[in-house]
Structure 1
Amino acid sequence: MTPSPQPPPSPSTRAGREPSGAGSGAGALCRIRVGSAPDSWGVWFADDPRQVDWRRFLDEVARAGYEWIELGPYGYLPTDPERLAEETGRRGLKVSAGTVFTGLHHGAAVWERTWAHVADNAALAQAMGARHLVVIPAFWRDDRTGAVLEDRELTAGQWRDLTRLTERLGREVQDRFGLRIVVHPHADTHIDGEETVARFLDATDPELVALCLDTGHYAYCGGDSVQLIETYGERIGYLHLKQVDPEILAGVVAEGTPFGPAVARGVMCEPPSGVPALEPVLAAAQALDVDLFAIVEQDMYPCPPDRPYPIAERTRRFLRSCGA
């Protein structure tokens, strides 16, 4: 049975370190490449009047000190590779990944529609020099309205379809675009907390399917990110860094609040004020001794246009103090 989100423990005292660049100085996280994403600027959709203009996002993410970005929802940033390369290049930005949403538990009937969506995203990511495609499972309830779209539990047949078709997706994306898929456990989807993540990983081929560990979503659903890294280290292919506010989360869990409204209430908070503590997560990731992207994603939809930049700048400064 899929576990309901559980409040994580209260934040512990965090011991900061002196800032040091990646690869230099004691304790530097030399295998971790830090970036940010449109999500940290309140961008959830390709086009929404409540979101900041894509030019402002690119300007501010570069000014805040990040070198790497994700593409975000397809169509938010320019989809012409030459134009996007010019816009990112002159700001000193590089692309780490694209992102797609899939509903592969629905079986073969959705494959062609899914692939058309994936191919557009993967082609742009490939053209921009990215090596990853973040794959997010479909929501079982609407992330804006909270309307229940389907049962939150998958049948055995749906689990087979999900794992089999995700492996197919991994193979096709790898063969055609040279990208590795990293599946993103996410609140209000069928892959969320410890039980469903373990079931999914145990049922899929490590050569075809890796994991994008989002520290905030995993904590939102009761998981321990450090424990996951230590248990399934060979499956960790990518990181999203975020934290949850434990007090707001406790209310969200008690009230059964859908994810979208929970975000609007501020459940995802600015580091280092929430949980999980990011220092031990980054240390556990560094101990894997592989190169990993760690992309900051602070869900803030919707948010005032002047709110994201100061948070992004402070977050980058905090991560430097952790050695990243």
Structure 2
Amino acid sequence: MRVSVALLSILVAAALGPTGTSAGDAGSLGVYVAGELDQQGKLAEALPLYRSRAEETGTQADRLRYATALLRAGQREAAEAVLGELRRKDTHGESGAVVASSLLAAGFPALAVPHARAAHEAAPRDPGRTLLLIRALTAAGDRESARALIAKTRGEAARWADGERLELARWQIRMGDVRPARTLLDREPPEVVGQMFRDSIRADVALGQRDWPAVSELLGRAERRVPAGLTGKRVARAWRNVQRELYSVQLRRALALWREGPRDRAVPEARSAQASDEEYVRSAAILLLAASDFAGGRRAEAQARLDALAGHDRRFADPVAHLRKALASDAKEDPVAPLQAALAGEDRSLEFVTAPLVESLRESLVTP
């Protein structure tokens, strides 16, 4: 299998935030326990452990992990103090790029924009930093600024590597500019990983059209192109961005399978996607799994999933409480509208995924 180093990192120029930690790593037991508690919806118990680790090591990765956890806990002022310290020590934009990437992965695109912009201004001809800013602007819902930045790259993009052109096509599609993206996608990358990314990006066109069989076929092919075992916790750092793309593939394919039917085919894909370290993918997968529980008459299991999501990220606390109240009464308010707003806020470039996914959850509440 031929794998281009450039294609392994085409999402952003820098790694997408702090990497996962296993219990076997030296000196990492505390942060491993924190991660397990966090995933169980016990962020309040995990925060002191994240803080202790950040203070002990002082590393960028541990401080970013703590800062994004603070944001999910609703402690924005404390989080911005940590992020501000990282930014003050940054002289060439490297930290800005990593901070922006981490905030995007954590589902805070509006906060990522100034960091991505600072990184881009420090190296305006760096394709990776340009793409990072385009991504941040698009995810934050500022398509006008993203289009203006893309317009400035037209002369340079022709000289970009395959992976960089694929990423440009991704953001053009997510802004609704499909025609120029098709030109970038016409050429098939020679490496299998590039082909996987290309299939994944092309699927967004079909997804926007709600052509569920086409989405399922393209994403199924994308999933088959990469080695088995990429969904495990112990993945080499060089493959982390490919793993993230795979989880995104699985989430979107789960949605397509759910809409296409039979719905039980969607569950394994959603369950795997739930392991993503990108908060949008994780949250969306949990909502689809909750829909499966509701549709199957397993209301207690569905509520437990949603409660854990609320405990992991306070942005979902009020929406989950709203759903519980709506289910317990005859209120005419939309029970899932607040959940849709919370999910959309994590990445506004994925509204074409958010809308049908939340529709699926809404429909599951009335399934006999």
TM-score by structure 2 length?
0.28
Report which of the two has the higher share of strand: 1
Which of the pair has the greater relative contact order for Cα pairs under 8 Å at 6+ separation? 1
TM-score by structure 1 length?
0.30
Report which of the two has the higher share of helix: 2
